[in-house]
Structure 1
């Protein structure tokens, strides 16, 4: 299988490239920003029109949640308009399209895990831009899977794990939000899942739809940090604080729990244990 991947330096894109290097019979053609500018929807669609790939995966996103509050037009182009254009090109070519979305399309109310068909109600610009992308992908009418995920981490890029490792080595204690609950998810698990989904859609296009993909068990940011410090052998203490004590330009959903049951039923993808994935990331960072 050959996959055209939009993205090359992000966490999921780099994990997809690693899959291609490790797996016989899998070719990953990853496109960076110089090759695929997501502020240019038509140019990105043209790349799909010209590809010889079997499937297309979008691992590009505008992820600066706070900056999106003052930059919503650009965020919406990158997260909404361009994925829609790519999806339309995929539909014209008959190519399965896998698109990564986010828990931020929900309002974070309650404590129950959100099912894929739960009503969306994003709290801010980033969530609205990602929801626009979902709607555009569905409207394109082709074979597709939208994978909503949360709290992505890996050995690459900027993420919570790497930030905690840096701060935990510098400080004796940190105050960390404890009333936001979600499922940390490794980029490696997302990448493998994207490939599994793409292969299934090739044979079973009727599995098109929206799915959830997050690690378990669900945990607070504060408890996530405690596990990071414990596994890394850092003695940094963690003090729980409410979200109100750490104000940000964009509101974050307090409940980011996602119901993964349909992903298991349709694709056989088990919910991953982020604690095991964290140990693997720490080993890679130690090399």
Structure 2
């Protein structure tokens, strides 16, 4: 890879693959929590149109190569280019095309929606990039195909209680159908007295991967059911179902919204609630813990 090739790579897609938290979008401006430090208010801006970044706290900015050098202490351009070459980053044109498709996706009627067993290579590669076990991904998710204005799109589908589907691919996440929580029994048709609560299904899949890896520090010992909020906005709906449980284990994001959600659940169910975020206190969420934990020989 050379400098000219690197300029065609999307900074937005790179940050998504590096699991940097996107806080808001306004036009062409994407605002992130800075990848250079811990912060609660986003001060790191990316211009999608110009494909450049700027950190307002340190008053520095530049292109993707400069970002990689700054994030990973790469001392030369060649080291940064070598790092980028190892990543499957989409080009700027493709990223913009996908972003436009995502906007249409949420505002335009979908046609020819089909759910299939998960087999698409790029979707399975997306799981691998998030260190999600492929077998687990296939167990809980399906592959969804749909058309918007005669253009074909596809993604990973995760079902909810209202027969809607949370949809995710490397460039977009959203919902087809009615948005709702997902509730899964630990064993088919055998409900438990405890329940684990996750914000999104990628965190749930990450947790199930950690179960398979026998991560004894992270995994709750007693068998529990699984609730995925699919959005903290679904909290009121979730409370109706959580009332049946005597033990509620919250694995929510380490951000303001996640903390407030745990607080709201605790206010209702009091002593029944355990905030499990201490298990990943130095990480943004469960999937971030999985991605950054040291690999073992068995993985």
With normalisation by structure 2, the TM-score equals 0.25
**Considering only CA atoms, is the larger Rg found in Structure 1 or Structure 2?**
2
RCO higher in structure (CA 8 A, sep ≥6)? 1
User: Which structure: greater strand fraction?
Assistant: 2
User: Which structure: greater helix fraction?
Assistant: 1
